[in-house]
Each structure stands twice: as C-alpha cells, then as structure tokens.
C-alpha cells in the first residue's frame, strides 16, 4: 500500500518510491533517481509525475521542476517507445557517428527529438555516452549498441520493430 | 557489449579480474575478493593509519583526471567530526573519450564496493555512495546486484567482518549531465539539486555531502584500493614512475586499429600505446594529432607523442594525463571541425552558473562556427584565443578550464589551419555541416 493515496504509479514503482525516500540521510536525495524511474514507467515526466514526486519528497512542484530542467535525460514530452540516442561526440564522430545519425534520420524520417508517427521510435543526438572504445555507439532506451554500421542499424531497428529488442529498465 | 582487448605490454592490476565472471560474488571471493578489507580490519586500532599509509606509499593518484594523491586526500578528513562522514564514488564518467569505469562496473563491481569499504574504514565513515551516470543503467543494475549480494553474505551492514564497525552502501543514478562529474556538483546532485558546483574552500574533506566530511574518488581510484592493500603500497608504486605509482586504464579510441581499454604502467610511452598496443593508425593512414586524456586535454601533434603517460611528464609536455582517454586523429581530420565539435560539447554542458564559462563557451562556439562556415576573419582566431584566456581560472569548477584548454591547444598548434579556413583552403575532410551542428542537440 503506497504512502500516497491515488498514486499514478504501478504498485511496484510506488513501493519502490516508498522505500527510496527512507534510505538517504535526506529525503531529497531520492529526487533525481525518482524522476528517472518515473519517466521509465510513464514515458516522460508529466505534470502528474511532478505533483506526486513533490508530495512524496515534501517539496514544492517548483523545486522539482527546477531540478528536472537541469538533467538532459529527463523529458517533459513523450518520446517513442524506443528512444534512439546517437552519440556524435569526438570518438564516435571519428568513426562514423554522424553517418549513423544521418542514417537514422533518413531511415526513421525524423530529426533530433522527433518521434515517428506510429510512436515506435524517437531520435536524439546525444553527447558522449561512455562507449568511446567501441564507437560508433548508440543507446536504444538504456541498451548500448556498439561498433555500428548503417547496415547494423537497419537490422537493429527491425529487431525493435518486431518487438524482439532488449529493453532494460 | 564492450569488447575485451589485451596486449602483452599490459600490467593487469585493476583489470586483473576482467572477463573472469567476477561480477559473481563467489567468483570474486575466489579471486581474492574481500580479502583486502579483512586484512585492514585485522590491523586493529592501527587500521586507519595502516590503510592511509599504504595508500600514500602506493603513489596512487586520482584516476578521474586531476591526479591528486589518494592517500593524502584520505588523510585530510578530520578524525573527529560532529557530522557523519561519507565516502562518495564518482562513476559519473562522461569526459568524451573515456569509458574505463564502464568496464570496471561491468567486470568487477565488487572491487568498487570493497574499495568503498576500505575508504570508509580509513576515514571513519559508515556510509558510502556509488554514483553512476544515468546512461549506465545496465551497469547500475550490475552494481546493485553486487551490493545486494554483499549484504546477503553479511559483508555490508552491521559489524562488517567482526570489526565492530557498520558500513552501508547506497547506489545512485544520475540523469544526464557532464557537469555532475565535478565533485561538488556531484554532491549537489546527490542531495537532489541541480548539478552546479560549490565554491571551494571549504573542500569536501571538511564540508562535503550533507555538510559532512567527505572523501570523493573516481571509481577506478577506489577499485585500485583493495589491490594496493593486498600487494603492498611499495610494490604497487614500483609498477609506475616516480610520484606516479602503479598502472592505469587507458581507453584508446578514434583512428586506431585496435581501440579498447588497456591497463598500462604509469609512464608508458604514448607512441607505443598508439602504435603497438592499439595497433597503429587505422587503414595505414598517418597520425595527425592526439587528444591524450579526454576532450579537455590540450592536443599533441604527431611529433609530440614521445612522452611518458604519467601526470608529470604529460604536464611537462604542455598537456594533461586527464582521464586516460586517448583520442587518436588521423591525417584526414579537420582540426577546425574537431575543435568546433569539442567546444560545442562544452557549450552544451556548461551549467551556466559561472559567467566566464557560460558566455565564453558560447562565444567561442559562435566564432569557431563562423570560421568553419567560411565567413571568418583573421581577427576571429585572436578572439577565440582571447575568450579562452579569459575563462581560465575564473570559474567555480574546472569546466571553464576544460573548455578553454583544448581550445587554446588547437588554436596555438594548428593556427595555420584556422587561418587557411578563413582564406578558403580547408584542410582535412570535414564530416559535419554547420546545419548539422547548429540544428542538433548542442
């Protein structure tokens, strides 16, 4: 039973959040992880997410929004079911990161922060994701895909389209 | 999944258990895991001094990039403190060119946990945090599992290994911010705030997380601690060079035949790292330049690579060892383009707290964009240098310097290439268009 009446989260996530606010010396330390985990479940940080997290931690919604706007992984609009994040930072750039990005744009018919009409994919150009030695690399949601070529990207997209892609949360 | 690489010149200390399934706690124990922490506890009342002295003798210097001696850092924490003390592991790895902590979390998460316990015992802390960047979710799950397994064995929690000391570990995820890799910004983030830096002093060892004395170390630094206690500080120090003890994980990326994370002795030749260890320049091309320690380090030209990979030798060569991320550029690279992509990153990641960084990165990017686009004037090159000079040392955290230093390196060492751009002769093979750069996430 969640400590918040009418929680918008699943029982598992609500229970996780109930626990999360108890483990730190200060409750507020739960804020950043909670926003990210909420986004994982709801798809984005909606107004309702902001309201409930503010209530859970005992902050003003304004405080939550102030933090929310800082972190690049947090979004306030829905993304696709699979958010494709293409790294174009230096190590990836040297090994074809921009070629991968252009290929993704062409293949999905969307640009940076775009979502396909069927809602399956969204695309984002991102800064270094820490896969420099296995470049070029992308993340689809949280899963890393390394050492890519446009052909490998095509195969990956098909796997995800068929619902066979890994989707670690 | 990151490919594991190896080379005969490697000296494996922190990477000793890579590829051996040590994320499994029983395997880790079989491979001498959790022995170092027990050895420390066996020192009795001398435990703290013994750990700190061993770490000092090891010559280990911070693997995040600044290279501060770890034993000394631990010794700065006051013995008596009214407020609780904390250990904070910085796994917010996000310096472009750097992916070494990635493989530590993947292959040897218990070494990070054991190192956190050792740091805790050294400074008299009862609580450690392991903070991973938000993008490393699959690694966070590996670390979380390792922490849960350590609790299940009774290694964490109350009275660890019969020491009478309690020690807990909490894992934490970030949510995307380069700036949070800076120690004080990381503490802000962990306190549930925007990741902006704090003014120093006071330093974290005195006033850190939740206002308590805090030791904050890079994940690789922490993962080294158990190995150092087991092999002895002096023996670890001997693997490296003077004042640069031990070995280090170097991530070699870019235009090399065999990119990967290699563990090499401190002081190892940069030339050999590129040509022998990483197999030389990709497709038989010629070397043009090297960014030797992550994006923030000033560039070295092809004829400046006869230098040893340690903090002091790299400093003498006018650059930095940084995070150990060696980015190799072949002859086709347009330096103007590479410099622009680098500053675009820093402009994107500047948190905006300090004006010299916020404005400086933006104006350098704008000016460089104009040069790249073919509309530059000779004065633009001077302006870029002037802007970068005025950022140096004028911000709360090192992000301003991190943006200014590579900029100055590119402009000073490849000035002709910038001027040629302005005159309409473009060196190298540009990859990106200005539209791509401006229209994207930067």
- pLDDT single digits (tens) B321-343: 999 999 999 999 999 999 999 99
What pLDDT shows up at residue B442? 54
Closest residue on chain A to B351 (Cα): A70
Looking at CATH, the fold of the domain delimited by B335-439 is given as: de novo design (two linked rop proteins) (1.20.1440)
- The answer to whether A113 contacts B325, with C-beta atoms less than 8 Å apart, is no
Q: How many CB pairs under 8 A join A and B?
A: 172
Chain B residue closest in CA terms to A53: B192
Cβ of B295 and A90 within 8 Å?
A: yes
Query: Where are the CATH 3.40.50.11540 domain residues in chain B?
Result: 25-238
CA distances from A6 to A34, A52, B197 (A): 17, 9, 37
* Residue numbers in A near B338 (CB within 8 A): 90, 93
pTM over 0.95: yes
Distance from CA of A97 to the nearest CA of B (A): 10
What topology does CATH give the domain B25-238? Answer: Rossmann fold (3.40.50)
Contacts of A144 in chain B (CB under 8 A): 1, 138
- What are the residue ranges of CATH 1.20.1440.230 in chain B? 335-439
pLDDT digits (tens, 9 = 90+) for A16-58: 999 999 999 999 999 999 999 999 999 999 999 999 999 999 9
Q: Is A169 on the interface with B (CB under 8 A)?
A: yes
Is the Cβ pair A131, B2 closer than 8 Å?
Answer: yes
Verify whether the Cβ–Cβ distance A168 to B137 is below 8 Å: yes
Full DSSP string of chain A:
--SSTT-SS-HHHHHHHHHHHHHSSSGGGGHHHHHHHHHHHHSS--HHHHHHHHHHHT--HHHHHHHHTT-TT--SS---SEEEEEE-SHHHHHTTHHHHHHHHHHHHT--TT-B-TTSSEEEEEES--S-GGG-S-EEETTEEE-S--HHHHHHHHHHHHTT-S----
CB contact, 8 Å: A44 with chain B? no
Cβ of B96 within 8 Å of Cβ of A72? The answer is no
The answer to whether B192 contacts A32, with C-beta atoms less than 8 Å apart, is: yes
Contact A111/B at CB under 8 A: yes
- Would you place residue A133 in the very low, low, confident or very high pLDDT band (cuts 50, 70, 90)? very high
Point out the residue among A26, A72, A133 whose CB comes nearest to the CB of B99.
Answer: A133
Ranges for all domains in chain B classified under CATH 3.10.20.600: 247-330
Name the band, by pLDDT with cuts 50, 70 and 90, for residue A2.
Answer: low
Question: Could you tell me which chain A residue has the CA closest to the CA of B278?
Answer: A133
Query: How far is the alpha carbon of B103 from chain A, nearest alpha carbon, in Å?
Result: 10
- The 10s digit of each residue's pLDDT in A105-130 is 999 999 999 999 999 999 999 999 99
Is B247-330 a CATH 3.10.20.600 domain?
Answer: yes
Q: What ipTM does the predicted assembly reach? A: 0.97
């Amino acid at each position: 039973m969640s400590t918040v009446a009418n929680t918008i989260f699943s029982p598992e996530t609500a229970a996780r959040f109930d626990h999360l606010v108890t483990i730190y010396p200060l409750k507020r330390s739960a804020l950043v992880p909670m926003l990210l985990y909420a986004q994982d479940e709801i798809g984005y940080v909606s107004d309702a997410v902001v309201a409930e997290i503010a209530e859970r931690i005992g902050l003003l919604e304004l405080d939550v929004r102030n933090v929310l706007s800082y972190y690049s992984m947090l979004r306030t609009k829905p993304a696709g079911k699979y958010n494709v994040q293409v790294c174009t930072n230096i190590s990836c750039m040297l090994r074809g990161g921009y070629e991968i990005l252009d290929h993704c744009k062409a293949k999905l018919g969307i640009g940076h922060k775009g979502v396909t009409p069927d809602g399956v994919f969204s695309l984002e150009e991102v800064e270094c994701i820490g896969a420099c030695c296995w470049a070029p690399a992308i993340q689809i949601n949280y899963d890393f895909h390394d050492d890519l070529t446009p052909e490998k990207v095509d195969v990956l997209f098909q796997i995800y389209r068929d619902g066979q892609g890994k989707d670690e949360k | 999944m990151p490919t594991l690489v190896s080379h005969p010149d490697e000296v494996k200390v922190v990477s000793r258990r890579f590829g051996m399934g040590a994320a499994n706690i029983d395997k880790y124990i079989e491979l001498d895991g959790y022995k170092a922490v027990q050895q420390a506890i066996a020192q009795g009342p001398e435990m703290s001094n013994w750990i700190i002295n061993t770490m000092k003798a090891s010559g280990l210097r911070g693997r995040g990039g600044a290279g501060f001696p770890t034993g000394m850092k631990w010794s700065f924490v006051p013995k008596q403190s009214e407020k609780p003390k904390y250990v904070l592991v910085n796994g917010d790895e996000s310096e472009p060119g750097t992916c070494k902590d990635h493989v530590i979390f993947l292959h040897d998460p218990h070494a990070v946990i054991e190192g956190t316990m050792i740091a805790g015992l050294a400074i008299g802390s009862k609580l450690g945090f392991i903070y991973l960047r938000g993008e490393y979710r699959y690694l966070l799950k590996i670390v979380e599992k390792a922490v849960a397994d350590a609790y299940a064995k009774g290694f964490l929690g109350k009275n660890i290994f019969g020491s009478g000391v309690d020690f807990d570990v909490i894992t934490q995820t970030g949510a995307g911010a380069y700036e949070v890799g800076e120690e004080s910004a990381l503490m802000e983030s962990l306190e549930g705030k925007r990741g902006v830096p704090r003014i120093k002093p006071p330093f974290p060892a005195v006033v850190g997380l939740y206002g308590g004395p805090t030791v904050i170390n890079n994940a690789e630094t922490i993962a080294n601690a158990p190995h150092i206690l087991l092999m002895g500080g002096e023996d670890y120090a001997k693997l490296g060079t003077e004042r640069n003890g031990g070995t280090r994980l170097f991530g070699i990326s870019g235009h090399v035949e065999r990119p990967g994370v290699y563990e090499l002795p401190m002081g190892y030749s940069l030339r050999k790292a590129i040509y022998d260890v990483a197999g030389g320049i990709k497709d038989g091309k010629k070397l043009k330049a090297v960014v030797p320690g992550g994006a923030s380090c000033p560039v070295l030209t092809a004829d400046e690579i006869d230098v040893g990979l340690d903090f002091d030798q790299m400093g003498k060569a006018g650059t930095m060892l940084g995070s150990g991320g060696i980015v190799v550029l072949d002859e086709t690279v347009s330096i103007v383009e590479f410099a622009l992509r680098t500053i675009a990153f820093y402009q994107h990641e500047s948190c905006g707290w300090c004006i010299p960084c916020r404005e400086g990165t933006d104006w350098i990017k704008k000016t460089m964009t104009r040069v790249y686009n073919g509309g530059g004037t000779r004065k633009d090159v001077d302006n870029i240098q002037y802007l970068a000079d005025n950022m140096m040392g004028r911000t709360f955290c090192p992000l301003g310097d991190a943006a200014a230093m590579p900029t100055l390196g590119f402009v000073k060492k490849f000035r002709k290439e910038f001027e040629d751009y302005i005159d309409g002769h473009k060196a190298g093979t540009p990859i990106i268009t200005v539209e791509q750069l401006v229209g994207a996430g930067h």
